[in-house]
Chains A and B, each alone.
Chain A
Amino acid sequence: MKAIYNYIKEILQGIWTLLTGMRVTAKYFFTPWKHVTQQYPENRDTLKIADRFRGEVIMPHNENNEHKCTGCGICEINCPNGSIEIITKTLVNEEGKKKRAIDQHIYHLGMCTFCNLCIKACPTGAIVMGQRFEHAVWDRTLLTKVLNQPGSKIMEGVKE
């Protein structure tokens, strides 16, 4: 008798646990408007990207096409995987003094691991992280970028 009682109890308990699980899923089934997925390309406009999001390394320029990079090469040294190459040039100013300046700040997006070390190391804050994250391109060479814009100059007053 006891065995039969236990047998039935076991079955009922089992069914009860199953029903508990089904209640959980049913709760979500009947509130379909609470879905958590997003319709990605459609919601581009309303997409909120955190302002610290590390999407790519960029070099902000002001309206006079000026940046803050001195060409010191510290970011290049700090990059763990050689994503940055600095090519400098020598400028001669009016007084005839020679001065080093950035020629090309080459950034290999394809190799970058977005570790933020270059940004942290840069003494003048010339480079920052951009929030763009749609980096897919058809040609790999497009991933190699020159961060300083053509014809750009260093900002007045930026010291090494």
Chain B
Amino acid sequence: MDELKEVMITNDEIRTDEYLINMGPQHPSTHGVLRLLVQLEGEIVHNVQPHIGYIHSGIEKMAESLSYPQLGHLTDRMDYLSAIQNTEAVALCVENALQVEVPERVKYIRTIMAELSRLASHQLWWCVMGMDMGALTTFFYGLRDREDILDIFEETCGARLTLNYNIPGGVMFDIHPNFQRDVKAFIQKFKTKLPEYERLLSGNVIFTERTKGVAYLTKEDAIAWGVTGPTARASGFACDLRKHRPYSAYDKVQFKEILSDVGDTYTRYQVRMAEMWESISIIEQLIDNIPEGDHAVKMKGVVKLPEGEFYQRVETARGEFGVFIVSDGKKNPYRVKFRSPGFSNLFAINHIAKGWKIADLVAIMSTFDLVIPDIDR
């Protein structure tokens, strides 16, 4: 009997050890130089610790030595997929501080551009999500359609990614004569492609099995961790600034805030898919009604903000992006702080990935839609 007991005890003590594995800084699914220190037991994730700072670029510090119009082009380089919205936040912040009222036309253009940029960002997110899940073909379909938007950007803004289009006081250029025609053509085309996305991935049984019921994020946790954007809306946290703090022309359009209270990976996916339809509808409402007028108000050669603190937030494709400017009345800001959505979203990952598998961790990262320069700015 004693012998047996001994055997049983040793058997109890046979256990699998946890081990640490470095996902990144060079890893195909971290989409940049993010390093996740993952504690695993077999395939099961016990702990995820994000280590950031591999491409820290010191944008906030650099901003202190730049003038306000120059600030915008740096924010392009943070979340490069939401370049339009980032510069919009800076522009709005400076305009509010100076109490400049921009023409209606500017507001409309900014909104359309922001929605196009959101679409482009979500397209890229979709195709990368497919790629992370192992469906490589989605990558090319997503990029194919994103290309059309980038062409529109190129025509009007002169660049494809780092656009520097919204400047304090208006937009850099007036829209290209072909802009409306091209946007409408794109919308027509994309409306036929989006159902294809759904057929290829959303409905796929492998995909739904892998994402449904995986990695829940509750509403409380979302709020507690400061998660915003589609990720939080999938958990039922109504945080769409376009709806609740309308800026630019968002108060003139009808759209739904996509909310769901499930909060698993699949919902986070579905919310973004539905947001694409909403973006399409917003663009459709505005594109024919762009009022005539100037594309910018004349600003002084040297923009000086009054002394004080100014904050402006916008909804980027990833969530709430905030610009906080402390001014001491000079032409350079005294201090600039950016509240980037990716940073807050990323750190909720440990909370929800625990207990799921490595493959799920990759899928979770995809649904958080991380852009690393946005985290490390």
Contact = CB atoms under 8 A, between A and B. Distances in A.
A and B: direct contact (Cβ < 8 Å)? yes
A53 B154 contact: yes
What secondary structure prevails in chain A residues at the interface with B? helix
Contact of B70 (A50, A52, A78): A78
A143 interface: no
B164 interface: yes
A120 B154 CA distance: 17
B181 to A, nearest CB: 14
Contacts of A24: 196, 199-200
Nearest to A20: B199
Contacts of A13: 205
Nearest to A29: B137
Contacts of B257: none
B199 A116 contact: no
A117 B205 contact: no
- Listed residue (B154, B203, B205) with the most chain A CB atoms within 10 angstroms of its CB: B205
Given A17-B204, A80-B74, A114 B159 contact: yes
A145 interface: no
A20 B203 contact: yes
Contacts of A25: 137, 200
B74 to A, nearest CB: 7
Interface in B151-209: 151, 154-159, 162, 164, 167, 172-173, 176, 196, 199-201, 203-206, 208
- Listed residue (A14, A17, A74, A120) with the most chain B CB atoms within 10 angstroms of its CB: A17
- Listed residue (A13, A36, A129) with the most chain B CB atoms within 10 angstroms of its CB: A36
A23 interface: yes
A21 B203 contact: yes
Contacts of A36: 140, 144, 147
B242 interface: no
A23 B158 contact: no
B133 to A, nearest CB: 12
A76 B69 CA distance: 14
A17 B159 CA distance: 39
Contact of B204 (A18, A50, A117): A18
A115 interface: yes
Contacts of A120: 167, 172
Q: A interface, how many residues as a size bin?
A: 20 to 34
A54 interface: yes
B154 A50 contact: yes
A113 interface: yes
A51 to B, nearest CB: 8
Given A23-B199, A116-B164, A52 B155 contact: yes
A74 to B, nearest CB: 8
A116 B172 contact: yes
- Listed residue (A23, A36, A80, A129) with the most chain B CB atoms within 10 angstroms of its CB: A80
B73 interface: yes
A113 B162 CA distance: 9
A50 B172 CA distance: 16
A52 B177 CA distance: 12
Given A14-B205, A20-B203, A21-B199, A114 B162 contact: yes
A30 to B, nearest CB: 14
Contacts of B69: 78, 117
Contacts of A50: 151, 154-155, 158, 176
Given A13-B205, A25-B200, A129 B73 contact: no
Nearest to B159: A54
Interface string A42-79: 00000000101110000000000000000000100010
A119 B199 CA distance: 47
- Listed residue (A15, A21, A120) with the most chain B CB atoms within 10 angstroms of its CB: A21
Interface in B113-167: 137, 140, 144, 147, 151, 154-159, 162, 164, 167
Contacts of A15: 205
Interface string A84-121: 00000000000000000000000000000111110011
B98 interface: no
B66 interface: yes
A38 B144 CA distance: 12
A17 B164 contact: no
B66 A80 contact: yes
Contacts of B205: 13-15, 17-18
A83 to B, nearest CB: 12
A76 B352 CA distance: 50
15 contacts: A18-B204, A21-B200, A23-B199, A24-B200, A25-B137, A36-B147, A50-B176, A52-B158, A52-B176, A74-B301, A113-B73, A113-B162, A114-B159, A120-B172, A121-B301
